[in-house]
Structures are given as structure tokens and as C-alpha cells.
Amino acid sequence: MTSQDLSTIPCAQLTGVGVKLSEKLSRIGIITLQDLLFHLPYRYQDRTRITPISQCQVGKYVQIEGHIIHSEVLRHGKLQLICRMSDATGEINLRFFHFNAAQKARLSQNKKIRCFGEVRLSRTGKEMVHPEYQQWGLQDDPVIEETLRPVYPSTEGLSQQSFLKLTTQALHFLNQGHLLTELLPEAILIKLKLPNLKTALNYLHRPPPDAQLTILEQGTHPCQERLIVEELIAHQLSLQRLKQSVQKEPAPVLKTTKAYIVPFLDNLPFKLTLAQHRVCQEIFQDIKKPHPMMRLVQGDVGSGKTVVAAMSLLAAIESGYQAALMAPTEILAEQHYRSFQTWLAPLGIKITWLAGKTKGKARNVALTQIENHEVQLIIGTHALFQDAVVFANLGLAVIDEQHRFGVHQRLALREKGVGDNCFPHQLIMTATPIPRTLAMACYADLDLSVIDELPPGRTPVKTIVIANERRDEVINRVQAVCQEGRQVYWVCTLIEDSDTLTCEAAENTAQALKENLPTLNIALVHGRMKSAEKEMIMADFKTGKINLLVATTVIEVGVDVPNASLMIIENAERLGLSQLHQLRGRVGRGSVESHCVLMYQTPLSHLAKQRLAIMRETVDGFKIAQKDLEIRGPGEILGTRQTGVVQFKIADVMRDTKSLEKAEQVAAEILSHYPDIVTSLVKRWLGNSEQYINA
């Protein structure tokens, strides 16, 4: 038997895998035996021992063995079969809701039984509901399993039993000398104290009885770490390669003449903060080089990223190029358009605007102006990516609030380069705090600048947490604030993932508030409204015509109305902390003290209480992200919206921060000492998704 690489053997070669099963497997990304072996269990069941009934802990999955000492059918609403089971140490109830006559007979008094299930506590004591059970004759005692039983992430129609059979076969292939090439050099494995690939896979698919379940389930076992580190290294390498290749490409040299920048700064009603100034310098250093800048600017909500964007755009325009600013929502793009009109029109700079909804004549005019260089600055949504958009000579693009754009989009923008095969410089701005290690994993192709200072004269927003029942008090507060000439946001949150329901709820809330607050001018914005309508309302809010703006979370990013000093967020417990932080950042932009009222639906869980307390305690986005991570574990910082940024098979960038650091070091070591393995590593873990790198 010649040995073959497992990444080239399709699962269809395994016994019992026909067309249907192959299809189901491929639906969850399992095509080859390598894919199958990299599909790791997310839990394990310990059926390697029998737990004495007296030692069964509530909430734990255990295996028990004993006799049925009593069995009866009861009707508590539903018909149910209750069996009292006993071993030498104690007794427990088994409860079945579905049973036929044959099963009832098998579960009768004196029958021997072995059960596996979760121990629960009911009014009558400890019990198992619908345990898996086995019974056997006098001679053949059932075997005790020798390894922990894996539970695999699955999909409809793919049973755990199939996974067991398939992985058993795949492991057999692996252990029979078929290859899953060990890509990491031995010296590195020894240094990291990590096992080789074959050992790790055998262990994870069939852990021995003494394996520590908690460590495995936390994903911190060395065998897991071994795979996680390899995957993270592969991502690092791929992003670093991308960066290297970008740095070889030509880009326009943008030298600021100060023709626009100086009058722009002179006209601003404030001075740049030191942090804004420093970040601008970092950008200017980049863009005067003949290679594309790929820089990420991170700055907390309200740190003044827009001005930094303006400075960069002006540098491009001064150098005779076009510049583009892209925002994730129409509301935000529209707002930028207005600010830039005010700032730049006096300097004689021509600006146009393009969104998906720009249609007909307006669209044609905009497209012609862009193509003929009749406009120097183009502001819009991702409509700027459309094929019909042809820039005359795009020198620099700024992407605002990047977490709404994926890697693919930021790479697609490069394709909109200037003539002569040059690529535009790119600046990406985000308010999402990114711990350094995470930035390395997800944005290793970018350089990072941080605006780590808020403009002076801000009074931190005070946050109040209040139960929904005290709505009347909140409404009185709204009235008082508006009477002082200030403005208010009232945010309605998502209802059960339904956009329609959420918009309806917002409509109802707006209606109710209008009845309660007849003297105020109240308006509503939500995602389902026409963009022209939204724009008009936002403009009216900005000029102060509207006192109270009822909104869905569409106003989450970027909206800037310094006169707004109160924000109410309904059902705040439904939102992630980072999202709450973004929302809250809409107030506290002027000099008066602002407030944020987080209303919640009672009763509030302990965890939810803790989370809302964090919002009350701090206004620092970075701290909030970190605290949230401590309480909640992975996931929140990137948020669901962001998961498209980088897809990992095994690693979890929030959980595996320690591995991220190791991966970063090892990736550098591999690049310098073992360059030959880079391609295989990247291919193993990114496969075809690396295509964009050669785009």
C-alpha cells in the first residue's frame, strides 16, 4: 500500500459513504479525510466509567448502572413512565414521555439497566429524563468504552453515529501510514512543547479515560493548541505575504503642498489633538512613498476620526488626485457629505455623492463627473465598488467604520486603481477596540495607528440603568431636557432578529411618545424607510428642528449631533456591550453633561446585570471590550457582523489569545528560517479562500 496524503483522499472512499452522505458532509465543508480529521469534537461524553448513583451531580452527564426497583405509568398532564432505579449506593428516577408497550415491558421491575444522561433535579429528587439506555442478557455484560466519546458539530441528517464510524476509519488511515504531513518543524514543536499532528488528532478524536474534560472543553489542551497554533500561523503567513506583495506594488506619490490643508485647519473651530496630529503624520509618511498605504486607524467613538480622514483626503487632492470616502450606511455617508461640503466647498473643492439609491440622471451625472475628474472628492456607500464607477485617478480611499466591510471589500477597492497600473492608498477607520494580538491575527496586512485621546472639554457621559417600569420618569426627563433646548435620541432595539417587527415597534414607540409629549417635535428613523426620507430627518435633527429622534440601531455608527445630550436605549440587555458603547457615543459630543439611560426588561439575569453595570462604570471602549470578554468570553468584540472578516476552522481569536502570541512569533521564525513550508501551511488552512491574495 503506497501512502497517500489524506488531503487528497475524498471521504467518498470510506465504507458507508455514498452520494448522499458525501453531499451532507460537503455542506459543512468536509470533503477530504483531512477535512474530516480537522472537524474536531466540541464536547465529549465519559462512558468509560460507571458512576455510583449516590455520587451523581446535578447538571453532569454520567453513566449509571443498576436495577429497576419500581416502574409505573403516571398522568401529569402528559402520560409518562417513571422508573425507580437503584444501585448499591442510592436511587434515582428515570422519566420517559415516549414509550411503547415493548419498551414499558423492558423497563419493568427487577430489570437490569445501564443509562447515560444528564442528572437533573425535580421535585421528587434526582432524575434523568429520557436517558440513553442499554440492557443485556445474563452472559454478555456490555463493554465499558475505552475512550471518551466525542460529540461533533453536525448538521441535519448527519448523526453522531456516522461521525464515529467515519472518524474511526479516517484515524485508521492515518495510523496505517497514510500521510497528514507534519508541516511544523520539530524544533518548533519542541520549543512550544506541543505534540505532533498525528498524536494530537488521535487524542482529540478518541481521548483516553483520564483526559481532563474541562480542559478539552475549554479548548486549551496542548493537542488542541497544536492545531490552533498551526492554523493561526497559516493565517499570519498569508496576511504577511499579502502585505509583502502589496508593498511591492506601485502607488501614486502624494506630497502635501499644504494648499488646502492649511486653510482647512485655519477654518476649523478647534485645534487638532496631539493624537490626531500624530496619526496624520503617520499617514503622510506612508502616502509619500510610491507603494500603497494600507493603514488601520483605530479611535474610540468621538475621538475625531473624521478630521483625520479629511486631512488625508486633502493630501491626495492637493497632489492632483481624486479621493474617495466610503461609509457603511447611507445616513453616515450623507452626514459626511454635508460636513465635507461645509469644510471643503469654501476651498473650491468639488464633491459628489453616490449611494446605491442614487438613480437615473443624478447617477449619470455623478458617474460622468467621477470619470472626467470634474470632482475631486467622492463620498458614498459601497456603491463606490460598482463596475460602472470609473475613477479618473483615485489616489486615496478612506473606509469609515471598517467593521462593516470585509477583507474582500478592502481588496476589491484596490482594483479601482488609478491608470498606469497604480493602486490607491487605503485608510481604514474603526471605533471597534482591537487588542493588539487580535489585530495581528485579523489585520496583519495593515499598519495600525491609534487615536488614543479624546478632544478636550468633553464631559464624560453619565450612564443610568433603569427598569422599564420606570418609563414615566424617563419620559419626564426627556421633556425637561428638550425644554432646555437640548435634543434626545430614543433607541429601540432589535426584536427577535426581525427587522420588520423592530421597525414596527419603533413606530409604536414613536406614536406613544408623541401622545405623551405633545409639545415636542418627534421624528422616527429606521432601516426600512426611503433614504431620502431618512436624510431629511437626520438633517432636521442636526439643525435642531426635531427635539426627539426615535430610531432603531441604524444610528449606531458615526452620527454626529453635538447638541444631543440624552440617549435612551430600550431593552439594553439585548445588545452587546460594544454596540451599547457605539450607541452611547452619539451623546457627550458637546460641552454640556450628557446622560445615557439604559432601560431593561425585568427580571434581569445576573450576567445581564453585570454587563449593564460595566456600562455604568466606564466610558472607555477598550476597557468595555476587555470586561465584556472576561464576563462573556469570546465573540463580542468582533461582533457577529465582523465574523466575515476572517474565517477560522478551529481557532477562536478571542479565546486563543495566548496562542495568538505564539503564532505571531513562530510565523516570523518560519518566514526567516523555513520559507519552504509557507505555501503548504497556507494551502492547508486557507485553501481556496486565499485566492483573493493573488487577485
Give the interface with Mg ion as residue ranges (CB under 5 A): 305, 558
272 binds ligand ADP (CB under 6 A): yes
Show the binding pattern over residues 445-464: x = contacts ligand ADP (CB under 6 A), - = does not. Answer: ----------x---------
User: Near ligand ADP by CB under 6 A, which window of 155-163, 227-235, 297-305, 477-485?
Assistant: 297-305
Please, which of residues 474-513 interact with ligand ADP by CB under 6 A?
none
How far lies 135's CA from each of 65, 110, 111, 358, in Å? 10, 12, 8, 70
Cα of 668 vs its chain's centroid, Å: 26
d(CA 561, CA 590): 8
d(CA 401, CA 544): 26
What cell numbers appear for 468 in the block? 422599564
Q: CB 408 → Mg ion: shortest distance, Å?
A: 23
Q: CB 311 → Mg ion: shortest distance, Å?
A: 14
307 binds ligand ADP (CB under 6 A): yes
Among 150, 219, 304, 621, binds ligand ADP (CB under 6 A): 304
581 binds ligand ADP (CB under 6 A): no
Is the distance from CB of 48 to CB of 147 less than 8 angstroms? yes
Q: CB 473 → ligand ADP: shortest distance, Å?
A: 30
Pairing of strands 43-45, 149-151: antiparallel
Q: Which residues pair with 122 in a beta bridge?
A: 125
Q: CB 304 → ligand ADP: shortest distance, Å?
A: 3
- In terms of Cβ atoms closer than 10 Å to its own Cβ (0-12, 13-18, 19+), residue 529 is middle
Q: What is the DSSP letter of 487?
A: E
Size of the residue set binding ligand ADP (CB under 6 A): 19
Closest CB to ligand ADP among residues 222, 455: 455
d(CA 133, CA 694): 55
d(CA 237, CA 221): 24
Question: Considering only CA atoms, which of 126, 100, 130 is closest in space to residue 115?
Answer: 130
270 binds ligand ADP (CB under 6 A): yes
Q: CB 454 → Mg ion: shortest distance, Å?
A: 13
- In terms of Cβ atoms closer than 10 Å to its own Cβ (0-12, 13-18, 19+), residue 573 is buried
431 binds ligand ADP (CB under 6 A): yes
Residue number, nearest CB to ligand ADP:
304
Name every residue whose Cβ is closer than 8 Å to that of residue 17 and which is 6 or more positions away in sequence.
Answer: 11, 25, 166
User: Near ligand ADP by CB under 6 A, which window of 66-74, 81-89, 109-117, 271-279?
Assistant: 271-279
Of ligand ADP, Mg ion, none, which one sits near residue 562, judging by CB under 5 to 8 A according to partner kind?
A: ligand ADP
d(CA 575, CA 199): 42
261 binds ligand ADP (CB under 6 A): no
Of ligand ADP, Mg ion, none, which one sits near residue 52, judging by CB under 5 to 8 A according to partner kind?
A: none
Of ligand ADP, Mg ion, none, which one sits near residue 430, judging by CB under 5 to 8 A according to partner kind?
A: none
User: Near ligand ADP by CB under 6 A, which window of 41-49, 301-309, 463-471, 490-498?
Assistant: 301-309
306 binds ligand ADP (CB under 6 A): yes
333 binds ligand ADP (CB under 6 A): no
Pairing of strands 294-299, 149-151: unpaired
Closest CB to Mg ion among residues 451, 520: 451
How far lies 673's CA from each of 184, 193, 386, 666, 680, in Å? 12, 19, 43, 10, 15
Q: CB 649 → Mg ion: shortest distance, Å?
A: 34
404 binds ligand ADP (CB under 6 A): no
432 binds ligand ADP (CB under 6 A): no
90 binds ligand ADP (CB under 6 A): no
Q: What is the DSSP letter of 142?
A: P
Closest CB to Mg ion among residues 45, 303: 303
Binding site for ligand ADP (CB under 6 A): 270-273, 276, 299, 301-307, 431, 455, 558, 560, 562, 589
